[in-house]
Amino acid sequence: MNDTNAQSETRYKRILLKLSGEAFAGGKPFGLDGPTLSRIADDIVDARNNLGVEVAVVVGGGNIWRGISGAEGGLDRAQADYMGMLATVMNALALQDVLEQKGIPTRLQSAIAMPQVAEEYIRRKAIRHLEKDRVVIFAAGTGNPFFTTDTTAALRAVEIEAEVLLKGTHGSVDGIYTADPKVDPDATKISKLSYLDVLNRDLRVMDSTAITHCMENNMPIVVFNLMGDGNLRSLLCGESIGTLVE
């Protein structure tokens, strides 16, 4: 049953949620962790069912394969990146299955044609799915090598006219810091900063292409700890969670 009071207070109507592949692994070095996947799906279910938010998702593939690592191992970079795109499809299929087991109508769209398992990415069809309260998962990146899934998230967020790009981190990092908090004990969290601040200070929360695209299209970004209990709901309901980039 929808929470009508929560819906009326929800900050965003349509969001693009960026999930790293590493988040799907839970505490494992690679692969898929079932409980973690279910936990992420529960947050999406809550946002859709109880807050009335239209949810689109871009998934990474770093828990299975990273193109840069493959290139460093001697593979052609373009070939390695295509392998990474296939890894994102595997993660997207897993998320779709878990969501549908929880009763959520879901559509998977791939930037690489594979009609047996996913729809072809079509912008207008994706928007129509969202309008019909279906969760849309975007896989295979942009369909082009040399572009990250961060850039895919920025591109799709603008294309589907999302109100915000939410980049969910995993582990203990709950926003953007002045330095890597895992390395520098004096690093402090930043609650808000501009796109140019991120670029000029080389904060590396997302790649520069993604940040620039969001800046040129006035797409706000919120970096937050996806795994924090209730964080997505709190953020959607207006609480100051993570770091806002605009």
DSSP string computed for 184-197: -TT--EESEE-HHH
Tokens coding 116 = 């047996």
Domain count, the chain: 1
pTM of the model: 0.93
Percentages helix, strand, coil for the chain (3-state, rounded to 5) are: 40, 20, 40
Residue 172: CATH number of its domain? 3.40.1160.10
Mean pLDDT: which of 5-19, 26-40, 100-114 is highest?
A: 100-114
> Strands 106-110 and 135-139: what pairing?
parallel
Give residue-wise pLDDT tens across range 205-222. 899 999 999 999 999 999
Does residue 126 contact residue 99 with C-beta atoms inside 8 Å? no
| Alpha helices (runs of H) in 3-140, residue ranges in sequence order | 4-9, 21-24, 34-49, 67-72, 77-101, 123-131
Tokens coding 224 = 């937050």
Give residue-wise pLDDT tens across range 107-151. 999 999 999 999 999 999 999 999 999 999 999 999 999 999 999
Enclosing domain of residue 30: 4-245
